[in-house]
Every structure is written in structure tokens, then in C-alpha cells.
Structure 1
Amino acid sequence: MNPPSGAAFPPVMNPPSGAAYPPVMNPPSGAAYPPVMNPPSGAAYPPVMNPPSGAAYFNQGYSQNPVYRNGPPSMSPPTGGRSPFKKPGRKRRFPIWARVLVAALALFIVISGSLYAYYQANYANSINNITGHQAVHHVNIETTDSHGNKQNQTTSNDILSGKRINILLLGSDNDGKGGNNGIGGSPLAQTDIVITIDPTTHYVGMLSIPRDLRVTIPGHGSGKMDFAFSYGFQLGGKDFTNSVTNGAGLAEDTIAYNFGIHIDYYAWVGLSGFVKVIDTAGGVDVDVIHPMVDDNYPDDVNKTGNTVYDYKRVYIAPGPQHLNGVQALEYVRTRHSDLVGDFGRSARQQQILSQLKTKLATPDTINKAPDLLKDLQDALKTDLTVSNMIAMGNFARSLDTNNIDRITLGPPTFASSIANTTDYAPICAPIRDQIAKMFDVQSKCIPQADASTGAAVAQVTNSQPNLALTTAPQAQASLATSLQAVTNETTERWQYVDPKEATHTILNLMLASVFGDITALE
């Protein structure tokens, strides 16, 4: 480094004149220098540590900073406390995936709650008003199978689990015929059909008991079969459902007492329900093969007469026809206007059944499912559950309809006219044989009158042998059994079922009851 041009060097500083230099300091006399410390013999000198060259000298610690023998002191905060130099951080947030999961769960709960509320409002109430209503029995009648074993009520939720079951299909007016409006009167059962199913062998039989067949009605003596439901209905008071369950119970008791057939389940349909369903669905289209004329059609729906047994004239023109509910019912029920008798009636029923099922499968009608169920709330009652009906529908689809046994206890084989009446008397010998074969039971038949003279048999009282009124202990046992059955049914009824499947299943049961045909359950 040369000084800048023109700059003068600082003057040479000489000691002041006359000043003496400091004296030379010699060691004291006799003092010895400290001994020279040589390393022990054989000890190696430590290696010479040369600092790194260049800027690395300062970067690697060879600076004027303090030197620590054991490294710099630790800067960790005291145990159990926060470092005074550390600022408090922000609260830790949930990860995004957790927030998304919580939001999705909340949305699912809201949607599920809405769907549940919709199901309860539009389906559940109607379904519960229709299903699970146990028949009420007032007498204790024992029946036995062909092996002498007592027949008991089926209690399994799987009704097709192996035991033979018998189901009573009841169809009646419920529109106020002759004061029999279901409130102040008592409807008559025009249809009493017992379906027997053996799940093991896939045997199915259908026994139709004519409404005019004279039978012994427990507690009421001899009368027409249609009055069994009517007498029981009167015991239910003004509660409609209770009246139906009492009517069904007495109808079951009458069948058990007269023919030895134990009934496991029942289904009752008011014919007005069929009319409402057809109208709600918008009617049905059929091709009428020939003119339908019936001057003896029972006037029991939207009636014009005032007595119990009013009749009216029915006429349906041939060709393509659009039928409303009343017309469709007349078309399938009329017995006196078909050129081929009951075969023609069965064909008409299948025709309406096919058209109605096609109509019920359309989107417009499916959307009316809540309305269809509401139509049936007071027109269809059963002790079956929806799952029972679904199981029966699946079973019906596996059947060969040509192998279903169908018997009607009417003239000339199974009944004969009673003089001076419109009643029929049972011909017991063939009835006992047929029932024993069809139901695998120890059948019986109660004679009612002499066909030639019309003389009625003696009135049957409650003290007649084989017919015991329910005593207190029996009533308690019956009540306990009924409560257990109701508990089982209630538990199942609260289970969620697909609304559309439930609607179709219930409609199929209605059709089976109206037509008296198990194949309607398919």
C-alpha cells in the first residue's frame, strides 16, 4: 500500500533530548531460570493444527469468539416450561380430510333424517294401519293334524320355514249396505277362501266356502257363513280395526269348529278399497269378449238399495272398454253373465290382474304409492307383516299354477239346497274326505239341515261339546300368547322396508283377497 500522491509521511518521533532509556532488567543474582519441560520419553507431540487457508478460517471457528472446552452451552428451555425466547404459536387445526369427513357425516344425518320423516309421513303410518293386526278369538277350539298332533299358531317370523300354514282371505262390503257401514252396522263376508301351503312339498290348495253355506257359528247357532264375520265385527265396538280383528277371529273359529281347519293368518279386504285403488291408478283398459249382463249382481258397493241382500242389473258392452273402479269390480265379480261359467270369470280376473299390475308398474302410478296406501288404510287389514308377504310372493313365483288344487264347497258335490231358503246344506261325506286330503288334518263336518225338508238342526249353544268358551286361565294364556305375537310383529314392523316394494306387496295381497287367488301375490 503506497501513500497517495503528495501525501507527507508522518514525522519521525525521536526521544526527547537528554532522556535516558529504561535500564536493562537482568535477573537477580543467583536466580535460576525455570527448568525446561521436555515431554516424557516416548510421548508423541500433538499434531500441529494449522488453520484453514482463506476465508474458511473464520467460517470454521478460528475467530475471536470464546472457546469452550466441552462445546457451547445448551440453549434448550428448562424442563417443564416454555422457553422465554419462544413466541406462542397458532392453535393446530383439523386436517382437511377430517373436516370433509365431518361435513359429509352431518349431511348424511340430515338427509337420513329427512328421508325417515318422509317415510314415516307417507308410508309407515299407512303400512302400520294395514299390517300386524292380530285376530281376536273368543272361543278355544282345538284342531289336530292327520297324525293326531295339536295344531298351534305359527309364531316364526319366517312363515315358510317348514310348517304348513293356512291363510284365510276375507272379502266384504264396507260401504253402508242396509246400515252395515262398518260403524253402525256389520259388513257381511262375500268371500271366505282358505289357502293352505306346505313349503316342504310346495303343495298349495285353495278351499272356497260359499257365503250361503250354512254352518254353526260359535255362540250364535246355525247361520250362513257370511254372518260369521258380521257377528264378530259387532263385538269390536266403534273402533274399525278392532271390529275387523274380531270379525276375522270369529270367522277363523267358525271354520275350525265346522271343518277342523286351523287358521294361522288372515287378510281382510273391503271391496271399496279395490275400487279406490283402480280409480287412483286411473282405471284399466280391457277387451270385453262378449256382452256382460247380470240381473242378480249384489248391490253392495256405492249401493242404491236399502236391504242387506239388494241386487242390481249390470251391463258391460263388448269390445275395448276403459273401466273405472266400480266397473272393474263388477267385471271380475259377476257370476251370471259369462257363457263359460266360472272358467270365464277366472279369465276375467286374470285379465284385470294383468292390466292392473302393468298399470301399477308405470312411473306415474309408482309416484302415487303413498295415495294408494292411504286408499287401503280402512280397506285392508291383516296380521301378516310386509316381510311375510314378500316371502309369500317369492314362493308364489315358483309355483306351477296348473298344480294348485281348487275346491268350492258348493252344489252339487259338496252342498245341496235347503228347501224354502237361499241357503245350502253341506254334504259332509265328500267334504270330510276332501278337507283331510287337502289340509292333512283330522277333518270334520257339522250337518246343518235335511236337504229335502229344510228342517234346520238344533241351535248350538256355548256348552256344546268340543266348543268351549275361553275361561279365565285360558284367556290369560291366550292374552300372553297374543302379547308375545304382537311384540314380535311390532319389532318387525318398525324395521325399514323399501316403500315401493311394500306398496306392491300390499296391493298384491289386496288382489289375492279380491280374486281369491294366491297367484296374485306374484
Structure 2
Amino acid sequence: MRSNTKRKKKKKFLKVIIIFLSIILLAGAGYTYYVYNSVKETANKMHEKSEWSGSKKRENKLDLSANPLSILVLGVDEREGDRGRSDTLMVVTVNPNDNSTYMMSIPRDTKTEIIGRGKQDKINHAYAFGGTNMTIQTVENFLDIPIDYYMKVNMESFKQIVDALGGVRVKNQRLAFNYQGYSFPKGTLNLTGDEALAYSRMRKADPRGDFGRNERQRQVVNGIINEGAQVSSITKLGSILDVLGDNISTNMSFDDMKDIQANYKGARKSVQSIEINGQGGNIGGVYYFNVNEEERTRISSMLKKHLEL
């Protein structure tokens, strides 16, 4: 049972990135009146009223024509009668001035102070204790940066996005391998949703382990970005919007999305993945991912610089 649970959770990292990037790319795809209204309808469906009214860590109001911004992406597996936990936490910073995007995943077992609880615990427990607001405050405290927006994602839609786009193209330069019944030779590959998931999950047969898997995940992400930027079929766009509208909630308004797409779209051309280093271990029989203060400060300084703070 524990092994099956781990396998399911490994799927989730890539799904969040895919959905987040897709909505940012498609928010401005108004090449006809019909498409514009379809996107607006989807955006309004995703928008939710939230107690989160903006970060107190910003001295001035965020200007979506010039300021770098940050988005917290939460991958949540909610069940009826149970808020669930945020099994995936990703911080995305976007700088329109140098047209770059940083993506950093916070390991779900990271031990840190849970803001509002007054104690140390796994960072993903913040969502179970206090929902989106407590999670944002906890992440802000851990990284010492403002979180401007959030996107909460239902984790069951990755394959649908890839297939709605007609697949993704990647270049497998390092390692030919077989995984979960699929073969991945070296060279350019056109992947379906199922194949993209398998391609991004394999780890044990890769000499580089997690580093190799992360590289393949970035390849698939870039494939999604490229395919999403070239969406020209109203039918294809409609299928994508259906998936997004049913699986994302956010504090971004439609106007916010339009401004972000208009002023930040160049940042999709330079996406950098950031890894946070730490050491896993058991404390009182419970597993935690421990990040020392020097590493936490390094990551915080990197993100602050990218946010021009």
C-alpha cells in the first residue's frame, strides 16, 4: 500500500507545472471573439473568493506592467468531507524585465514552522490545518518572499492536457530506456499523455537518478509550452479550456490573467528549474526533509534577486 501511494505521488510534480503553464499561455489566446469569451468564461469559473488579499511582504502594490511576480501552485487531492493535503507545492517566479521564469518545488516533507500553529511540522500539513491561506503564509515565512497569486490544482488532469494539445515533442539526448510498457529511444519523440507521464517518471534505471528524471520533466514542460503557444484550433482550445476550468481554482481574475499574458509572455522562453538541497531523516519515527539555514538563505536570496526585491 505504501509503495502504491509513493508511485501516485511521483506523478503529481509534472501535472501541476503543465496546468499552470497552460492557463498562463491560453489566457491571452483571444484571436476571435468566440475564443476570447471562452477563455473569459473559463477564467471566471476558476476564480474563487479568497481571504488572501495580497502579501504583506510587499511594500508597494504589485504592478502587472513591470514588477516581477510570484505564484504558489498547490497540487491538492481533496476528498468529500476531507480538505486533504497539498501533496505538491511549487513556487514560480516570473520576471518580465529579463524575460525569465524560475520554478522551485518544495518537498512535501520539508520541516518548517507552520504559521498559525506555533510549531514545526511537514510543510504540506499547513493545508490540512488551515487551507490555502495558512499554506501561503507558511511558504512566505519559509522562503522570506511575497506570494502574489496562488493556483490550486486538482491532480487528475495531466494526461488530458497533453492529449488535448495533440501530444508533446521532446528530444531524448541522454538515455534510451523502456518504462511501463513504453520504449523511449534516443532522438526526437512525439509523446501522448500516457507516454509523457511515463517518460517523466522513470528514475531507477537512470544513472543520474532524480537529476535525470528532473531533466526529462523539464523537457516535457518545454514541450507543453511550445505546443500551447501554437494552439490554433478552436476545437483543441475548447478541449483544453474544459480541462482547466474543471480542475483549477485561483485568486487571479480574468483581468490579471490578461495582464500577465500580455506583459510576461516572453518569460516562457527561459525557464529555469531550481532545486532545494536537504537531507531526509526520521525524527521520533516520522520522516522529514531537513533544510539547513544556509541552504534556505541561499534559495531565498536567489528568489529575492529574481523578484528584484
- TM-score normalised over the length of structure 2: 0.67
1:165 equivalent in alignment to 2:73: no
The offset of 1:421, in angstroms, is 2.8
Is the CA contact 2:71–2:93 (under 8 Å) kept in the aligned structure 1? yes
Q: Which residue of 2 aligns with 1:439?
A: 304
Letter in 2 for 1:250: M
- The whole-number CA distance in structure 2 between the counterparts of 1:203 and 1:369 is 25
| Conservation of the 8 A alpha-carbon contact between 2:96 and 2:264 | no
SS in 2 for 1:186: coil
State the distance in 2 between where 1:134 and 1:342 align. 37
Change (3 A) 1:275 1:214: same
What RMSD over aligned residues (CA atoms) do the two structures have, in Å? Answer: 3.8
Say if 2:101 and 2:267, in contact at 8 Å, map to a contact too: no
Whole-angstrom CA distance in 1 between matches of 2:294 and 2:218: 33
Contact 1:209 1:409 in 2 (8 A): yes
Question: Structure 2: which amino acid aligns with 1:208?
Answer: S
- Matched residues in 1 for 2:301 and 2:225: separation? 35
Please give the secondary structure, in 1, of the residue aligned with 2:159.
helix
The equivalent position to 2:83 in structure 1, one of 186, 190, 210, is: 186
Q: 2:123 aligns with which of 222, 225, 243?
A: 225
Equivalent residue number for residue 331 of structure 1: 199
Instruction: Name the structure 1 match of 2:276.
Output: 409
Is 1:291 the counterpart of 2:177? The answer is yes
1:263-313 deviations in whole A, cap 9, x for unaligned?
1122333332222222334545667743355xxxxxxxxxxxxxxxxxxxx
Equivalent positions of 1:61-210 (< 5 A) are 122-130=38-46, 132-133=47-48, 135-137=50-52, 143=57, 151-152=58-59, 154-156=61-63, 159-161=64-66, 163-172=67-76, 174=77, 180-181=78-79, 183-199=80-96, 205-210=102-107
Distance 1:362 1:373, change over 3 A: closer
- Larger RCO: Structure 1 or Structure 2 (Cα < 8 Å, ≥ 6 residues apart)? 2
Indicate whether 1:258 and 2:126 are aligned: no
Describe the shift of the 1:407–1:323 C-alpha distance in structure 2 as closer, same or farther (beyond 3 A): closer
Q: For 1:13-92, what aligned pairs fall within 5 Å after superposition?
A: none
Identity among equivalent positions (%) equals: 23
Question: 1:35 matched to which residue of 2?
Answer: none
Paired residues in the alignment total: 265
**Alpha-carbon separation, structure 2, partners of 1:429 and 1:437:** 12
**Structure 1 gaps, min length 5:** 1-114, 144-150, 175-179, 234-246, 294-313, 442-522
Note the C-alpha offset of 1:185: 2.6
Contact 2:203 2:212 in 1 (8 A): no
CA contact (8 A) 1:210 1:410 kept: no
TM-score, normalised on structure 1? 0.43
Q: Which has the larger radius of gyration?
A: 1
Q: Per-residue deviation at 1:210?
A: 1.0
Residue 390 of structure 1 aligns with an amino acid whose one-letter code is Q
CA contact (8 A) 1:154 1:264 kept: no
CA offset at residue 213 of structure 1? 0.6
Paired residue secondary structure (2:151): strand
Which runs of 5 or more residues in structure 2 are unaligned? 1-31
Q: Secondary structure at the match of 1:167?
A: strand
1:376 corresponds to 2:244: yes
**Larger relative strand fraction:** 2
